[in-house]
Amino acid sequence: MADAPIRKVCVIGAGVMGAGIAAQVANAGVPALLLDVVRDPDHRNAVAEGAVAKMLKTEPAPFMSEQAARLVEVGNIEDHLDRAADCDWIIEAVSERLDVKRSLYARLDVMRRPGVAISSNTSTIPLHQLIEGRSDAFAADFLITHFFNPPRHMRLLEVVVGPKTRADIAAKVEAFADRMLGKTVVRAKDSPGFIANRIGTYWLQLGINAALDLGLTVEEADAIAGRPMGVPKTGIFGLIDLVGLDLMPHIQASLQSTLPPTDAFHQTVRKIPLIERMIAGGYTGRKGKGGFYRLDSSRQREAIDLVSGDYRPLIPAAGPSGPAAKGDIAALIRSPDRAGQYAWAVLGPVLAYAAALVPEAADDIVAIDDAMKLGYNWAYGPFELIDKIGAAPLVARLEQQGLAVAPLLMLAGQRSFYRVEDGRRQYLGLDGGYHDVVRPDGVLRLEDVKRATQPLLKTGSAALWDIGDGVVCLEFTGKMNALDGEVMALIGKAIPLIQQSYKALVLYNDGPNFSAGANLGLALFAINIAAWSEIGKLVAEGQAAYKALKYAPFPVVGAPSGMALGGACEILLHADAIQAHAESYIGLVECGVGLIPGWGGCGETIDRWVKSGRLPKGPMPAAAKVFEIVSTATVSRSAAHARELMILRDGDAITMNRDRLLLDAKAKALSLVDGYQPPQAPQFHLPGDSGHTALAMAADSFHKRGLATDYDLVVAGALAQVLTGGAADLVDPVSEADMLALERDAFAARVRDPRTIARIEHMLETGKPLRN
C-alpha cells in the first residue's frame, strides 16, 4: 500500500492553513478533498465552499491558476468523511485542541483504508499525545506534517515520526511533499513546538520584551531586528502583524503546557496588557483592523505607541550605523548604544536556546538552521549566525551574564559550526567531528558547484560554470541580477566555447530572483549625460546576443525562479525551452517605465501566440493579444499563469521544488541534445495601418475611462506601431531583422522622452511605477 502513489489528498479543516494546504495540493495537479464541520444545516458544505471562494479572492493567491481551484472538491465531516477512504493521504488541520483531534482520529481509525498515510498539521502538540489510545495500525500510518503559512509560499515542512510510524509511509509523504508540493522537508523530534515555532516564538517574545524594557518604539526595534540581524525586513513587530497577534497566545499557551518547567521559554512569558487589549479590539495584525502597524483612513501607515497604546504617524528610525548596518552581527551586538543592547538582548538568548535544542528538537544543526531560514525567513540560521559572531566570544559573553551555555557551544570551542573542505560544505556534529552537508537525491545547487570549481568565464555581471555532463550554466551576478553590456559580452564569448567543448547551456542562478531585467541605473546614467549612442549600442548588443543564443548550435534552457522582468523575460523567450520554478513571475514590463521591449521580446511573443493555436487565424488576433499583455506590463502570478500568457509553451515544464530546478533544467537541456537543430527564423504577418488604428482606439478607450494616463497613451501608440508595423512601409511577410528594427526605433524614441526619464528615476528611487 505504501508503494502506491499519492493520487488524491483529503484535508480535514478548511481554516486558513487547511484550505491553503488543499490549494497547494491542487497547484501540484493533484485532486484534493476539503472537509469541515456543518454550521448551516441548509448549506452543509458552506464552510469548505466559503474557504475556496475566499482563496480565489485572496492576495497573495493560494491558487497558482484557476484550473488548480477546480481540483478542490468540498464537503463536510458529517456527510462526507467516508470519502476520505478514497484518498491516499489524509491531513488533519482542525483546531489546535487535543480533544477535537483525538475525536476525529477515532472516526478515521474505523473508516480509513489500512496503509493510508494520516498526518496532523499541528504546530505544537507532540505526536505521542495525539495518538494516545489509538490502535497500533493507526500509529504505524501516522505522522506530523507541519506546514507553514501561507502553504503555497513557505517552503518548510517539518515532519515528525513516532516510534511506530512505518518508514515507507513517512518516505512516501516526504517524497510527495518535496517533489509535488515544493517543500524542503526537515525532520524534527517529537518535542513541543518542534523546531521553528519553538525557536521562533521564543525569539518573537524576546523581541517584544526587550523593546518594552529598553523603551524602543516599534519602528526602532524593527530597524534593528530586520535586515541588520539577517531576519525578515518586517522586523519583529511587522512579522507578528503578518502572522497574527491572536495566534501568538495560542502557541505560547501550548508551549507553556508542554515544555518542562526548567525550559528557558517560560522566562519570556509576560502578561502584556497592551497586546491583550489589541486582540480584544480586533487589532490582530494585517488580517484584522491593524496591529503594531496599521493604515489610517487616508491609507497612511501608522504605528502603535507601546506606552500609551495610541496610534500615531510613523517615526523614521535610523537603525544601526557603520559595519553593524551592513550585516556585521558581531559588531552589532558589541555596540554600546541602544541598537547593540537590543540586538544582544534578542540574539544572545535565542542563539543559546537554539544550541540547546540539539539533539532534543533535531538531530543536527543543519535541521535547526534550515527550519529557521525556511520557516521564519531568516537569512542565516542560528548556527550560521553564531559563526559570524564566533562560538568562543558568544560563550564568554553568555557566561559573563550568568546565562546557560549549551554543551554544543562548549564542544565547538574555537571552531566554527560550518566549514568548507575540498569544496564540500561540512557541519560540526555532536561527536565533535565534521560531516558533509548532504543534498537529497535530485538536488543540485549552483553554490555547491561554485565551492568546488572556478568559473569558465567571468565578468562583473555574469559567470559561466561547468555543471557536469557537458552542460554549462550562465549565471547573472550583478545587483538584482540586472542585465548589461558585460552580460552580453560574456554571452558572446560563451557561445564558441560551448560549441567547441560542451553540449548545452542553462540560464540559472541560485538567487531569489532570476533577474530584474536591464540595468536601469546604468541606462539612466547614460541618459543624464546624453550618451544616446551608448544606449543604442546596448540595445543592439542585447538583440545580437539574444539572437545568437536562439540560433546557437546547441540547446539553451531558461530556468527562472522569482522575478524575470523586462530583458530577463526576453532572454527566456529566446531559449529553446523553459524549465520554470512554480513561483516564477515573468513579464515584459517595459511599458511601465515608458519604454518598449527592445531585445526582441515583441517579435518572440507574437511568434509564440501565432504558433499556439489558441487564437483565430490572421495577423490581428496575435498582435491584439500581445498588445493587451505588454501595454499593461502584465507579470505572471506563477509559472502556471506564465503558461497561460504563452511565455511557457507546451514543451516547457514546471518544477515545484526550488532546490530541484537546476538539475531539472540540466536534464531538460540534455534531452534536447540528440539531433538538435536551431529553430528557423520566423516571418511575421502584421496587420499594418488598420491594425495600428484598432489598437490605438482600444488604448484610447482605457484613457477615456481613466485607466490610462496621457503618457500611457503615447507609449501604447508606440507599442502598437511595433506590433502592427503601422506606418512603417514594410513588405509582407516582415522579416525578423525588420521586426528588431521596429523595436530599436521605438525604444530609441521613448528613451529620450522626459516623461520616460521621470518614470525611470521614480522606479529606481521607490521601486514603484510612476503614473505620469
| Helix (H) / strand (E) containing 193 | none
Task: Give the list of residues 6+ apart from residue 265 with CB closer than 8 angstroms, or none.
Answer: 198, 201, 202, 205, 255, 256, 259, 353
Check: CB of residue 226 under 8 Å from CB of residue 235.
yes
pLDDT at residue 731 in the model: 86
Sheet architecture: strand order including 311-313: 293-295, 301-304, 311-313
Q: Give the Cα separation of 121 and 198 in Å (integer).
A: 15
List of domains in the chain: 9-187 (3.40.50.720), 196-428 (1.10.1040.50), 447-589+635-678 (3.90.226.10)
Other beta carbons within 10 Å of 129: 14
| Helix (H) / strand (E) containing 107 | helix 98-111
pLDDT at residue 2 in the model: 55
Dump pLDDT digits (tens) for 675-731: 999 999 999 999 999 999 999 999 999 999 999 999 999 999 999 999 999 878 888
Check: CB of residue 25 under 8 Å from CB of residue 32.
yes
pLDDT at residue 320 in the model: 81
Stretches where the chain sits below pLDDT 70 are 1-3
pLDDT at residue 392 in the model: 97
The β-bridge relationship of strands 434-436 and 577-581 is unpaired
Q: Give the Cα separation of 602 and 596 in Å (integer).
A: 9
pLDDT at residue 4 in the model: 78
The residue among 14, 348, 58 whose CA lies nearest residue 207 is 348
Dump pLDDT digits (tens) for 555-579: 999 999 999 999 999 999 999 999 9
Return the CA Rg of the chain: 28
Rounded to 10°, the helix 736-751/754-766 angle is 80
CA separation, residue 219 to residues 235, 285, 314, 645, 764 (Å): 9, 15, 7, 41, 24
pLDDT at residue 152 in the model: 97
Dump pLDDT digits (tens) for 147-181: 999 999 999 999 999 999 999 999 999 999 999 99
Q: Give the Cα separation of 729 and 734 in Å (integer).
A: 10
